[in-house]
Amino acid sequence: MGLLSLISGWPGRSGYGSATTAEQVSASVDASNLTVIITGGASGIGFETSRVLAARGAHVIIAARNMKAANEAKQIILKQNENDKIDVLELDLSSLKSVKAFSDSFKALNVPLNVLINNAGVMFCPYQLSQDGIEMQFATNHLGHFYLTNLLLDKMKETAAATGIEGRIVNLSSVAHLYTYKEGIRIDKINDKHSYSDKRAYGQSKLANILHANELSRRLKEEGVNITANSVHPGIIMTDLMRHSFWQMRILKLFTYLIWKNVPQGAATTCYVAVHPELKGVSGKYFLDCNEWPASKFATDPELAKNLWDYSNNLVNSLQR
């Protein structure tokens, strides 16, 4: 696979490619025995992922900061099929308090959890700190998902053990992980305002998504748990995620329109990794256009992954005191 495949849409080894849609990649999947949480599942590729997996029979939990938008998304899905199983719960990933409240609310539903799709995020935002005092892109894209995953992991382990169905965790990363700070992850300077770059900070957070999935995968394998963890690049899609650089991205799209995807195509790799039987047992990998793809040197550094895990864990613990 390469630029030609991206432009042409020719399929890779999986039989799917950049032109494949979420509906196509999940066409043969019966997800009626699955419960799926999708963060940011009310808009963009998150909404398309919610819609398609619900259509395949999954019980979908839309986790969203904007509850009005989440409830509207639920109604749109139910208009297509009133029998789809959709719930909405509030989640602001930039607030660890909100992440904990979401976890408690989900557990109160007393349902299993088979698939966790860490989809939500912010992109290229000006320097700002989260409610917990952490740089916003790192806080929202990585730390919130790191904490959420840890809070839900026991439920996923229980579900996998009780049902025999493989659990799957999918982190939405980006090819932007290639464009990060020179250290990869600036563990000692996450909040440094003086050297802040909105683009590199985004790349850093997307690199963190891959490293998180890789280290989680290693730990799950070591524990012998029937859960996989992978990361994906959905493709370049014009969504609300780009609101902080809308006109710049419009100009970029004018000159690079051949490599852009629409939303149904953008949700394909997520759905493929989340539910396709072909991926059974596959863990710790990075996917692009529904095919395994090599990530950067930083992204495949096990020591960096471990250091990020330890840093994130210590940071969450310190902020919870």
pLDDT digits (tens, 9 = 90+) for 139-178: 999 999 999 999 999 999 999 999 999 999 999 999 999 9
- Residue type for 32, please? S
Q: Residue 304's domain spans which residues?
A: 3-319
pLDDT digits (tens, 9 = 90+) for 195-234: 999 999 999 999 999 999 999 999 999 999 999 999 999 9
* Model-wide pTM > 0.85: yes
Catalytic residue among 181, 196, 202, 286: 196
**CB-based contact 159:113 (threshold 8 Å):** yes
pLDDT digits (tens, 9 = 90+) for 59-116: 999 999 999 999 999 999 999 999 999 999 999 999 999 999 999 999 999 999 999 9
- What Rg do the C-alpha atoms of the chain give, in angstroms? 18
SS3 content of the chain, % helix, strand, coil (to 5): 50, 15, 35
Q: 196 catalytic, yes or no?
A: yes
| CATH at 130 | 3.40.50.720
C-alpha distances (whole Å) from 269 to each of 45, 93, 152, 238, 308 are: 10, 23, 23, 16, 25
Strand partners, 277: none
Retrieve residue 155's tokens.
């439920």
How many structural domains comprise the chain? 1
pLDDT digits (tens, 9 = 90+) for 239-257: 454 444 444 545 444 444 4
pLDDT at 30: 98
